[in-house]
A = this chain, B = another copy of it.
């Protein structure tokens, strides 16, 4: 546990550093934050805060900078609640009111709004397929040798895929397919579409493998395919002073360009409503200079995807977390 004054000093230093991006000296803390003690006292406290690993010094005669551990304490204990203005609330409301027909679109609107309000780069991804159940499957004939399969899940998500054939498909065949799939699969988890069903269809009806194979292949594919990443405001990062360093800028671009890494980020660990990963708390070496904050897009507690922010460790955690909390609440229907 930390004494009250140390907490106040740590908070002041981190707040100051988040604002200025410059190492913070005992002098500015004395001047700008009314803590009722002199810069010498603050210096003494800083030595101890450094000893327990919350602060760091770039070099002997410079001010202090928060360490990852310092940010962690800040996020867990010192964060400002509801750090969001009326104006921002209004803006978010207006954005989220947009009528959409597909959930993916709503996730994207939330993602871009998040980036606009926080001025950081935001990313999102759709829900994992294997948590969803099949509500309905429909096959539609397009032309004579092309079929579209449409799958509606219980979370209201619609997946569709096109299947091409080397032989003509009849309306009757389509009807049979519709009948079988709906009877066999309604209410089952999405990934139940597999071998057993294929064999059943094959034995029950006199379908040639030429017809069944491509269907099963494509369904398998559409179900297991990773949902699309959505990225917004990559350029926003370049306004920040940390991106003056070419090294950092390049790492950042490499990072958001490597879709697997971002996907992993968005798919890991949802112990809390809002998840904060600071610097090297991420096991991935590539991420050591950045912080990631994520939350789940939920509606009536159904998982509709994940939305996150990627920025420098020196991130305005209070603002980002407050905005996320608000957006999350709104998405979940107030």
User: Interface on A for B, CB 8 Å cutoff?
Assistant: 101-102, 135-136, 138, 140-143, 146, 148, 150, 152, 158, 160-164, 218, 233-235, 237-238, 243-244, 246, 249-250, 253-254, 257-258
Chain B residues, Cβ within 8 Å of A258: 235
Chain B residues, Cβ within 8 Å of A140: 138, 140, 150
Oligomeric state, in copies: 2
Chain B residues, Cβ within 8 Å of A237: 253
List 18 A-B pairs, Cβ < 8 Å. Answer: A101-B162, A101-B164, A101-B218, A138-B142, A138-B148, A140-B140, A148-B158, A148-B160, A160-B160, A233-B257, A234-B234, A234-B253, A235-B253, A235-B258, A237-B253, A238-B249, A238-B253, A244-B246
Assembled-state Cα–Cα distance A235/B249 (Å): 10
Greatest chain B CB density within 10 A among A102, A140, A161, A243 is at A140
Assembled-state Cα–Cα distance A143/B140 (Å): 15
A150 touches B148 (CB 8 A): yes
- Known interface pairs A218-B101, A249-B246; A152-B142 also in contact (CB < 8 Å): yes
Chain B residues, Cβ within 8 Å of A160: 148, 160
A143 shortest CB reach to chain B, Å? 6
Assembled-state Cα–Cα distance A142/B138 (Å): 8
Chain B residues, Cβ within 8 Å of A234: 234, 253, 257
A255 nearest in chain B by CB position = B235
Assembled-state Cα–Cα distance A235/B286 (Å): 14
User: Given known contacts A143-B152, A234-B234, A235-B254, what 18 new A-B pairs fall within 8 Å (CB)?
Assistant: A101-B161, A101-B162, A101-B218, A102-B162, A136-B142, A138-B142, A138-B148, A140-B140, A142-B158, A146-B152, A160-B160, A234-B253, A234-B257, A235-B250, A235-B257, A238-B249, A244-B246, A249-B249
Chain B residues, Cβ within 8 Å of A102: 162
A253 shortest CB reach to chain B, Å? 5
Assembled-state Cα–Cα distance A146/B135 (Å): 13
A137 nearest in chain B by CB position = B142
CB-CB nearest 8 A-B residue pairs = A235-B257, A101-B162, A238-B250, A142-B152, A235-B254, A235-B253, A138-B140, A234-B257
A160 nearest in chain B by CB position = B160
Assembled-state Cα–Cα distance A101/B164 (Å): 6
Assembled-state Cα–Cα distance A218/B100 (Å): 10
Assembled-state Cα–Cα distance A319/B86 (Å): 54
